[in-house]
C-alpha cells in the first residue's frame, strides 16, 4: 500500500520544527478554539454563514438578557448546537493533545469551547474559558447538576431542563454574551500563558477578547508560539511557526514527531 504524505515539503518542515519546539519545552500550553471542533461536526457559532442559525443573531439570542427575558427563545436557538455537541466525538487533534498531556509534553489546555471534547479525548487539565455544557445550574436556587441528566430529553424532545428542587429553569454553565468570564479560569489561563515556554494555538482565529490576548502574554515572557489554524491571525507574523492547515491532520503529526522523533 502506498501512503501519500498529505503535506507539502514546506509544511512538513514546519511540522518538524513545531514538534521540535514541543519536544524541547519544559511546559507547553495549548490554546484551542472552535476550529478544533469543526472536524467533529460542531460549527463555529460565532462565524457567519454556518447555516444552522441563519434566522437568529447569536450575540442577541445567546445573551444573558435573552436567557432572562425569553429563555424559550434561547433554548430553541441552542437546541441544534446542543444536539451537535451531544452526538460529537473528539477528533484526531483532540486525541493528539491528550496524548501529549499524558506523556508530560502538554501541561494545560485552555479552551474557548464548551463542548467538553478535550475531556472526552482524555485531557485532564482543561481550563474552560467560556464555561462548559457538562454542568447545569438552576437560575433560582443555584442547585447544580450534570447536564447529561437533561441533555437527551432536551436534544431529542425539546424539554427545557427544570430544577429538581424548585422547578426553576436550569441554565447550562456556558458563558453567554454579556456575561463575565469565570474569574478563576481567567486567572489560571493568564498564569499558564505567562509561565509556559511554548504556546500552541489550535483552531482559534484569536478574535475573541480577552482570550485572544493570551499569546501576546506568552510572547512577552519569551515563550515560543506555534499557531495551527485555517486562517491567519493578528499574531501569526510573530509566531515561530504558523501552519494554515487542517488541525486534525497537523496535530497528530506534531504529536507523533514530538513523542517518537
Ligand atoms: Zn432550583
**CB-hemisphere CA count at 13 Å for 60?**
6
**Backbone dihedral region of 158: left (phi > 0), alpha (psi from -120 to 50 degrees) or beta?**
left
CA of 144 to the centre of ligand 1 (A): 8
CA of 172 to the centre of ligand 1 (A): 13
- What residues are annotated to the active site? 130
Tell me the per-residue pLDDT of 134-188, one tens digit each, with 9 for 90 and over: 999 999 999 999 999 899 999 999 999 999 999 999 999 999 988 999 999 999 9
CA of 136 to the centre of ligand 1 (A): 11
Helix axes 247-260, 9-24, angle to 10 degrees: 50
Which cell numbers in the block locate residue 196?
Answer: 509556559
CA of 140 to the centre of ligand 1 (A): 5
Tell me the per-residue pLDDT of 98-108, one tens digit each, with 9 for 90 and over: 999 999 999 99
CA of 133 to the centre of ligand 1 (A): 18
pLDDT of the residue at 7: 87
Tell me the per-residue pLDDT of 27-60, one tens digit each, with 9 for 90 and over: 999 999 999 999 999 987 666 555 555 566 777 8
Strand order in the sheet with 126-128: 126-128, 106-111, 28-32, 198-202, 224-228, 241-243
Count of positions (residues) in the chain? 261
Which cell numbers in the block locate residue 53?
Answer: 442559525
The answer on pLDDT for 209 being more than 90 is: no
pTM attached to this predicted model: 0.93
Question: What whole-number distance in Å separates Cα of residue 250 and Cα of residue 260?
Answer: 15
Bigger pLDDT: 119 or 47?
119
Q: Which residue has the cell 487533534?
A: 93
pLDDT of the residue at 53: 53
**Average pLDDT of the chain to the nearest whole number:** 92
Question: What whole-number distance in Å separates Cα of residue 85 and Cα of residue 228?
Answer: 23
Amino acid at each position: 500500500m502506498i501512503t501519500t504524505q498529505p503535506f507539502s515539503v514546506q509544511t512538513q518542515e514546519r511540522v518538524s520544527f513545531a514538534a521540535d519546539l514541543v519536544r524541547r519545552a519544559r511546559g507547553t500550553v495549548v490554546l484551542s478554539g472552535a476550529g478544533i471542533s469543526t472536524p467533529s461536526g460542531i460549527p463555529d457559532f460565532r462565524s457567519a454563514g454556518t447555516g444552522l442559525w441563519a434566522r437568529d443573531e447569536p450575540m442577541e439570542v445567546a445573551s444573558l438578557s435573552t436567557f432572562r427575558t425569553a429563555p424559550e427563545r434561547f433554548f430553541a436557538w441552542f437546541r441544534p448546537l446542543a444536539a451537535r455537541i451531544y452526538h460529537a466525538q473528539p477528533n484526531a487533534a483532540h486525541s493528539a493533545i491528550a496524548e501529549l498531556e499524558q506523556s508530560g509534553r502538554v501541561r494545560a489546555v485552555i479552551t474557548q469551547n464548551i463542548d467538553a471534547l478535550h475531556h472526552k479525548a482524555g485531557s485532564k487539565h482543561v481550563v474552560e474559558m467560556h464555561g462548559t455544557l457538562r454542568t447545569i445550574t438552576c437560575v433560582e436556587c443555584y442547585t447544580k447538576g450534570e447536564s447529561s441528566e437533561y441533555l437527551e430529553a432536551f436534544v431529542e424532545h425539546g424539554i427545557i431542563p427544570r430544577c429538581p428542587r424548585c422547578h426553576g429553569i436550569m441554565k447550562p454553565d456556558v458563558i453567554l454574551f454579556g456575561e463575565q468570564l469565570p474569574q478563576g479560569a481567567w486567572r489560571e489561563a493568564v498564569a499558564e500563558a505567562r509561565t509556559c515556554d511554548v504556546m500552541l494555538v489550535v483552531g482559534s482565529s484569536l478574535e475573541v477578547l480577552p482570550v485572544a490576548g493570551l499569546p501576546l502574554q506568552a510572547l512577552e515572557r519569551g515563550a515560543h508560539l506555534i499557531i495551527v489554524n485555517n486562517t491567519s491571525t493578528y499574531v501569526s507574523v510573530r509566531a515561530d511557526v504558523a501552519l494554515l492547515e487542517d488541525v486534525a491532520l497537523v496535530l497528530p503529526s506534531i504529536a507523533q514527531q514530538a513523542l517518537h522523533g
